[in-house]
């Protein structure tokens, strides 16, 4: 078996012709020598078929084996149109991968199971080691999990939104609506239209606030045309 980054794919294969053992990928059927001989035979056969006019010319049209549409031939081995080719490739890879797995699962499963196995990990809150039971848990209990989530929101989400917490005594849009007796939707519409004075600040979630009732501006209305 070949070691390295491609170690899982490059394994010892048996040549279908001469039965020699050689390193190759999942689709490798022939050793280098037999592959070269098959390529020579294929080239000679291609030349013979071309002389007889049995080959397809590049740029000609042919029918897709999957959907039946016409496509422009871009290669000698092309069988599908541009839309069906990626679909066929995925189907073929899935089919051959399953066959390869069942043929080699005795060697594949131990390596796969070892990678999936997660041992003791340290709780990100208290540091105590615990069994994650094969999961990606970071905390030893639900209480510490909630504490970790709260810290994450404070350190990441709120900071990304900018602003600051709601100051003591500040007024939101809902407070202004309650004080003025105007509906919240109307106050919100006026704020969005710019007819309420600028806020004194924003909370960490982007809500505006004021320390006193803001001034209500009047929209500049166009004067009617004079006759």
What would the pLDDT profile of 153-203 be if each residue is shown by its tens digit? Answer: 766 665 555 556 667 788 989 899 999 999 999 999 999 888 898 998 887
Q: By C-alpha distance, which of 45, 43, 80, 47 is closest to 62? A: 80
pLDDT tens per residue, range 71-118: 999 988 899 999 999 999 999 888 888 888 888 888 888 887 776 766
Q: What is the pTM of this model?
A: 0.36
CA distances from 124 to 7, 105, 145, 150, 152 (A): 35, 36, 9, 13, 12
Return the H-helix or E-strand segment holding 129.
strand 129-131
pLDDT at 141 over 60: yes
């Amino acid at each position: 078996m070949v070691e390295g980054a491609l170690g899982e794919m490059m394994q010892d294969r048996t040549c279908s012709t001469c039965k020699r053992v050689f390193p190759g990928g999942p689709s490798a059927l022939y050793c280098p020598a037999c592959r070269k001989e098959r390529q020579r035979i294929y080239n000679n056969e291609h030349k013979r078929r071309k002389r007889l006019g049995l080959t397809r010319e590049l740029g000609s049209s042919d029918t897709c084996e999957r959907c039946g549409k016409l496509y422009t031939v871009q290669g000698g081995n092309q069988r599908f149109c541009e839309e069906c080719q990626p679909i066929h490739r995925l189907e073929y890879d899935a089919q051959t991968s399953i066959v390869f797995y069942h043929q080699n699962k005795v060697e594949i499963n131990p390596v796969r199971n070892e990678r999936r196995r997660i041992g003791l990990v340290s709780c990100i809150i208290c540091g105590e080691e615990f069994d994650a039971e094969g999961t990606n848990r970071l905390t030893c209990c639900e209480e510490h999990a909630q504490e970790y989530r709260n810290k994450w929101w404070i350190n990441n989400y709120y900071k990304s939104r900018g602003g600051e917490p709601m100051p003591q005594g500040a007024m939101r849009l809902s407070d202004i609506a309650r004080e003025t007796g105007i509906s919240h939707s109307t106050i919100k519409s006026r704020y969005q239209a710019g007819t309420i004075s600028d806020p004194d600040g924003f909370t960490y979630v982007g809500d505006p606030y004021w320390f006193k009732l803001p001034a209500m501006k009047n929209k500049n209305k166009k004067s009617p045309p004079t006759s």
